[in-house]
Structure 1
């Protein structure tokens, strides 16, 4: 049997491409993420594209987004109007059915501890904020945009802690290591399903909607955009509730990269108001 498996491995075609869907790839839904990719890859193969059999999961997201042979990746909207501009082409965005948003859009939830008396963002002036990272739109940029009208001399919070992930930001607020955090609204239902720390926090407010994290293709393969979009649309529509429900996946919206300029515009407005970064 081992010999037969080795022969099969040698005969399996090696894809020249790389693909990854890292933005919501929690361990608890990894099987469903893989099932989504399997459905997409099958359609790409039917179209004559040698799609990779499995997803790439590098430690650093930048190592996926900047690989020259990127066939399909899910990126942060902030990056496509900044560091990835001219390196990838936006294909569209998955629709996660976020309340108060158009299909394919999303926003962030501002959370605080469940026993905190604050009833709006202004009540947290001087508090300690948790952020997954300054290169995140949903955890940092959306918060910058929300706080800018309230800031004085470029400051609003009394402390800042960087956590690395939205999940860790939820935990940090829950254990009183921070008072408030902005959490991706697609992450939030994942946390409701899988993260016990949500029992200690509550939603304070919602940020304004923007396009959800885009699916992108490397610039060298942008000519495949139409085929990839057909494959993604067909794959998402074909999935059963056993895959779609754990991912809160409702559909796919093909859209231009220009849709994401709203992110750059909001950051520029915050900077013009004297609040370029969470502080």
Structure 2
């Protein structure tokens, strides 16, 4: 079998893509696996995560909990060195247009929310909980626009086509370094509740011994992998139990308990 690998979630610039692919390549070299693996760039999601020949990929915690738990195995979660991160937990930066007079979430009532994806923990689930105490009869926004990416959500906010968005703090930190112009005209309102970050996962067909080698290659990195981690602002990889990711469903449950089951 030729295993398939992809790390598609944070390739926000050519430099970052090169660093992520370098980390992956050195990890596979250290495990003497490179000849047995095919790198897939821009894989179709979520279909790619369900492939029987999946060796390693990165997913969002919300689809992990709602779609993938029985299909993949948690390998490790990166701990990033960005504001809004705490260990391998992360949060979302809630943003608004700088000149729109929105100083708090309450000021966005009746406005337009930009969301990267309906199944995103950082863009949808975290924002839903943040807004839930302010909703009335299950509504807060006049409209929710699904943009396709955090960068596109920021563009909608920056250009005045949306009033609010929740942006994964790692994406936000990377964009601040790689493309600071994309954050001009953006006001930070604060951070969402925290939850476990985007995990690296392996397919269920990966043998247990190989799973253990993949995990140790990340949690106890060699010098080449550690160098790429520094370039990517990754302090460490943590092996987190499946139970930790229930926090993401807890965020959803708290919003539902407040009478706000759908972002609207």
| TM-score, normalization by structure 2 | 0.92
Q: Does 1:233 align with 2:219?
A: yes
Q: Which residue of 2 aligns with 1:5?
A: none
Q: Distance in 2 between matches of 1:191 and 1:235?
A: 26
1:138 to 119, 122, 134: 122
Q: Which residue of 2 aligns with 1:63?
A: 47
Structure 1 stretch displaced more, 167-176 or 266-275: 266-275
State whether residues 237 and 251 of structure 1, in contact with CA within 8 Å, keep that contact through their aligned partners in structure 2. Answer: no
Q: Which residue of 2 aligns with 1:12?
A: none
State whether residues 91 and 256 of structure 1, in contact with CA within 8 Å, keep that contact through their aligned partners in structure 2. Answer: no
Q: Does 1:160 align with 2:147?
A: no
1:108-128 alpha-carbon deviations (Å, 9 max, x no partner): 000111223222111111111
Q: Does 1:25 align with 2:11?
A: yes
| TM-score, normalization by structure 1 | 0.87
**Alpha-carbon spacing, 1:240–1:158, altered in 2? closer, same or farther (3 Å):** same
RMSD between aligned alpha carbons?
Answer: 1.9
State whether residues 37 and 55 of structure 1, in contact with CA within 8 Å, keep that contact through their aligned partners in structure 2. Answer: no
How do 1:74-223 and structure 2 match up within 5 A?
74-195=58-179, 196-221=181-206, 223=208
State whether residues 114 and 200 of structure 1, in contact with CA within 8 Å, keep that contact through their aligned partners in structure 2. Answer: yes
Q: Where in structure 1 are there 5+ consecutive unaligned residues?
A: 1-14
Q: Distance in 2 between matches of 1:51 and 1:162?
A: 39
2:234 to 244, 249, 258: 249
Displacement of 1:269 in angstroms is: 2.0
Q: Distance in 2 between matches of 1:183 and 1:246?
A: 21
Q: Distance in 2 between matches of 1:236 and 1:200?
A: 41
Structure 1 stretch displaced more, 58-67 or 207-216: 58-67
Displacement of 1:57 in angstroms is: 2.0
**Alpha-carbon spacing, 1:41–1:215, altered in 2? closer, same or farther (3 Å):** same
State whether residues 77 and 198 of structure 2, in contact with CA within 8 Å, keep that contact through their aligned partners in structure 1. Answer: yes
State whether residues 58 and 64 of structure 1, in contact with CA within 8 Å, keep that contact through their aligned partners in structure 2. Answer: no
1:115-148 alpha-carbon deviations (Å, 9 max, x no partner): 2322211111111110101011100011111111
Q: Distance in 1 between matches of 2:153 and 2:121?
A: 14
Structure index of larger Rg:
1
Q: Distance in 2 between matches of 1:266 and 1:80?
A: 14
1:231-272 alpha-carbon deviations (Å, 9 max, x no partner): 12244764465x445422221111111110011111122123
Report the count of equivalent residues. 261
